[in-house]
Structure 1
Amino acid sequence: MRYCSTRGGVQNRDFREVLFSGFAPDGGMFMPETLPAVSPETLRSWTGLRYQRLVLEVAALFIPEELIPRGDLEALVAEALSGFSVPDSVRIARLKDGLSVLELFHGETLAFKDLAMSCTVHFLNYFLRRDGSRAVVLVGTSGDTGGSAVRSARSLPGLDVLVVFPRGRITAVQEKHMTSCLEDNVHVFAGRALVAMVNANDIVHRTVTSGDFSMAPSVTQTLAPAIDIQDPYNMERVFWLLLDRDGAAVKTMMEEFQRSHRLRLPENQRRLLAEVLVTGAVSDPGILETMRRCWEQNRYLLCPHTAVAVWHHYNRTHSPARNRCYVATASPAKFQAAVEKAGLTFDPPEAVLALDQLPTRYQNLERSADWCEDWEERLRDWIQFVSRTRKNGGVCYPENP
């Protein structure tokens, strides 16, 4: 398995190189040069697998055994998924009228990002430990990714994690999952600024329905803050697949979008996209109504992000014979203000209540006339400080016990 950039400038990279690169050097995103083919027989054989085994089988398609032998890969996946609060890491809630909810929020930070981030961090640490090297990972988050990154990576000897989150744009629980990690390899910065079913930030919906892949003048703050974004970077991968892996065409599209923040898909491309992706947009009142209706009918509480998806169940015509499964990306415990706004009550778990008693640590990134350059310089300086400190065998926060 080799990897290439969606923009065509990078080819023939292996899994380790991609894992440590993040974005490709040409500004694109990495994708497999050849998508693995899974036969119907294999898919049928997977239907009875537990989640941990399924992760192993899928990961093995993308990670050659010469890089991570299967025995090591199995141990890494098992260790990564060992800290979840339900036996198989994920769980399905079967509700009324053919509605099922796949719960992906049983990790430490109560969000679906824990599932992928725990594996990613263990893969990184595997190579660092094997090579006797260190790395600094820079994470920008709209709420959930940062908490999952620091909780997955804390205390790992070869890895420092530097996280930037938008102050005032995430919930208190999301913030505490980052700022209460006082391990020496966790560095948190707070800044205030250019921060399928979607909320009022509907760029994906507009792209599919009208071909308008353009940023709005500003990000709308909604009850579902983790999807309050105007630049959905994974759409670049969708465009790459849509255009039959034409890196040059994707490069032209994405550079135009980055330059002008506007892009109009040709109608033939929009139609191809609409054939494989159905979208909708949900307002805050729709989110609240969905949360209330699901509770009244099932005594099941949705987080506002999950309600964005389940709105589809209540507001679109479906075949009564077909069961529908919607993905629950986070626990309602992370979004208590939205729960209260819906007129519902919820007793947070003890782990969430305990966050209020924990000390916190983070650094502010202030706004300025040239805040983009200032922030970049500040983060670069801190990364260099961390690198020097680790090289000399020191600690970054000597005041911590």
Structure 2
Amino acid sequence: MDFNLPTDLVAYLARLDAFIEAEIRPLQAQHDNERFFDHRREWARTDFEGGGLPRPEWEALLLQARQRADQAGFYRFSLPEAYGGAGGGNLWMAVIREHLAAKGLGLFNDLQNEHSVVGNFPVIVMLRDFGSPAQQQQFIHGCLDGRYRIAFGLTEPGHGSDATHMDTRAVREQRHGRPGWRIDGEKMWTTGMHTATHCTLFARSSGAAGDARGITAFLVPADAPGVKIEEYLWTFNMPTDHPRVSFTDVWVPDDAMFGAEGRGLALAQAFVHENRIRQAASSLGAADYCVRESVRHARQRRPFGEDLARNQGIQFPLVELATQVEMLRLLIRQTAWQMDQMPHPEVEKTLSDKVSMCNYWANRLVCEAADRAMQVHGGIGYSRHKPFEHIYRHHRRYRITEGSEEIQMRKVAGFLFGYMGPNKF
């Protein structure tokens, strides 16, 4: 049993660090771009008078960083070679995401916008696995080069974790001699809709409320008649690009159907395990950063003429957090490695509980670590001159949005008590 990271992965991290130092940090230092990362970050990023949306100059800077990463060969790492990637697996992506998050805030990795120099591409994977040949031809490279951006419309005002009771309806209807679908409903948290060209919209097309089957996905043009952004939902961490969107008498042709009719929830689940293990690794890296920064500060701070670090009231909470970081790192890497050893459908059957363990615990841990870092740093830790409040506000969302921790604990319980999984009885 070898717990060492593969030597080629270690070498890749070194090349990634060198690229960040040569290309990304200088870009961050230009034209007062530091305002997006220092104590001014929330105000610099947010157009508070324009609905709380991200400022165009902020999104333009992120795009420039991604383009540099793409030119250097890092951005598409996780994608198949056919799409310009390297086919990076789950273990590599988990280690990379932890490595980047452990660096703190910076243009190289700012997951408030799901931005990173090593990208995450759930929509591309969905198109690869469920799109028609025409959809793959149109959208895959179009999304990668920026011509298309696809939002995700699943959650509704009355239905969050339980998508099977959604109220949005799709009904077959012919218009202008063409077969298609009329869609009516409303979606919440439709992230990125302000710049989206299309929305992956989920609607019940058959069956009864609560049925997993009977929900169909559609690729709906964002500018289709009847699509309306009703409001942008301001959040704990601003800016916001999470609107409530209504769909009223929206018509799409048959070829807008995304995947098989009535099997739309398979799309929503297609990337969940990969996404959760990577996001868990990011939370782990951020937690590690908070602990290390707290230790460094405690060694430098000298209240009453003695190192702050000598106080057990400072030591013991950080010891517990550091211990959890080490244990969680092993579980995340083991789980990611196991995911790489099996076909994707097998992950749901045999490892889904471990992925949920990693994710919900990492999201809880980073919030505890950020809170402790504020406490150890005192007044300056509470201020925006340190990154801990931003880390807390950003990662707190994942205890809800990446499958709430209660939903994930229920998955773990299902495996543990034999209601689902390989030991079902």
Tell me whether the two structures share a fold, i.e. TM-score over 0.5.
no
Q: Which has the higher contact order (CA 8 A, sep 6+)?
A: 1
Report the TM-score, using the length of structure 1 for normalisation. 0.27
